[in-house]
Amino acid sequence: MKIRVNEQEVEVGEGATVEEVRRRVKPDADVVIHNGFPAPAGALLREGDGLVLIRRGKHPDRQELESLLVARHTPGVHEKMKQGKIGVAGLGGLGSAVAVALARMGVGRLVLTDFDVVEPSNLNRQQYFLEQVGRLKTEALAENLARINPFVGVSLHNLEITPQNAPSLFAGVHVVVEAFDRAEAKAMLIDTVLREMPGVPVVAASGLAGFGPADGIVTRRVADNLYVVGDEVSEARPGEGLMAPRVGVAAHHQANAVVRLLLGVDPLG
């Protein structure tokens, strides 16, 4: 009968136990998960069962990690994610969360750009840790992504994006994610990509401050190849701060639009 061991198909005899398969396939494994639960050694296996065998403290190799990471993904998605190259402009609340989501999806390459360092106030919504305060966001985020999936390729650019450097920085990407803070910078990047990089969609964000209804944040198409996530109007200003829940909702709208574009489906359905 066939079972899946670390998401690879393995042929085992009828009546095989979890322990027998552990000894045969990965004898150094000391964590054994059978169909999602810790397994007693004598548990009997059935056709189609899933077994995860892990050696505590040892990282799985590339193929193994890939299989394990994408075990919950819809079949066929991962191959397309792996071929994807995505530019992320700005690594604040939006960009850092988009990058984390795309790394968890197994997107092949991320081009990450920011010129800031991590500040204490960033920790209210951005994907950094207290001990990273003062570090460059590019490097701190790359480190965090590597702790999730070390096999995502990252290109780090610690600089300010301009109309002059954007086309070469993002050359070859399938989608550019606009994740800046200032409205002027958002407009500059969108304008540059849509003018200078024909055919490359931009997934931007506008209107995500405060604690208004989460359902107010939607994905719109403003022009061909320009998708804008947000409620359009909730501007960051004194009295209306940027906070983890709504910024996270917007960032994941952006990440989902990227996934849909990589899969060749319209982000709006």
Partner 1 sequence: MKITVRYFALLREAAGAEVESVELAGGSPLLGDLLGTLEGRGDRLGEMIRERPILCAVNRKYAGREAPLEDGDEVAIFPPVSGG
Per DSSP bridges, beta strands 226-230 and 50-54 are unpaired
Residue 194, interface with partner 1 (CB under 8 A)? yes
For partner 1, give the closer residue by CB, 113 or 206: 206
User: For residue 19, what is the enclosing H or E element?
Assistant: helix 18-25
Residue 195, interface with partner 1 (CB under 8 A)? yes
Minimal CA–CA distance to 135: which of 164, 158, 168? 158
CB atoms within 10 A of CB 257: 24
Burial class of residue 233 in the structure, from the number of CB atoms within 10 Å of its CB (0-12 exposed, 13-18 middle, 19+ buried): exposed
Residue 93, interface with partner 1 (CB under 8 A)? yes
Residue 268, interface with partner 1 (CB under 8 A)? no
- Cross-strand pairs, 44: 17
Taking CB under 8 A as the criterion, the residue among 44, 146, 159, 183 binding partner 1 is 183
Alpha helices, DSSP H, located in 38-119: 62-69, 77-82, 93-105
For partner 1, give the closer residue by CB, 122 or 149: 122
Annotate 131-150 with DSSP letters as a single string. GGTTSBHHHHHHHHHHHH-T
Taking CB under 8 A as the criterion, the residue among 247, 249, 257, 262 binding partner 1 is 247
For partner 1, give the closer residue by CB, 84 or 210: 210
Q: Which stretch binds partner 1 (CB under 8 A): 2-10, 27-35, 140-148, 218-226?
A: 218-226
Rg for the chain, CA atoms, rounded: 21
By CB under 8 A, the residues from 120 to 149 that bind partner 1 are none
Q: Which stretch binds partner 1 (CB under 8 A): 6-14, 63-71, 156-164, 231-239?
A: 231-239
Taking CB under 8 A as the criterion, the residue among 156, 226, 244, 263 binding partner 1 is 226
* Closest CB 248 distance from partner 1, rounded Å: 12
For partner 1, give the closer residue by CB, 30 or 119: 119
Q: Which stretch binds partner 1 (CB under 8 A): 43-51, 54-62, 141-149, 177-185?
A: 177-185
Q: How far apart are CA 71 and CA 65, in angstroms?
A: 10
**C-alpha separations of 16 from 40, 45, 46, 130, 184 in Å:** 13, 6, 8, 48, 64
* Closest CB 98 distance from partner 1, rounded Å: 10
Q: Which parts of this chain interact with partner 1 (CB under 8 A)?
A: 90, 92-95, 179-184, 186-188, 190-191, 194-195, 204-209, 222-226, 228, 230, 232-237, 242, 247
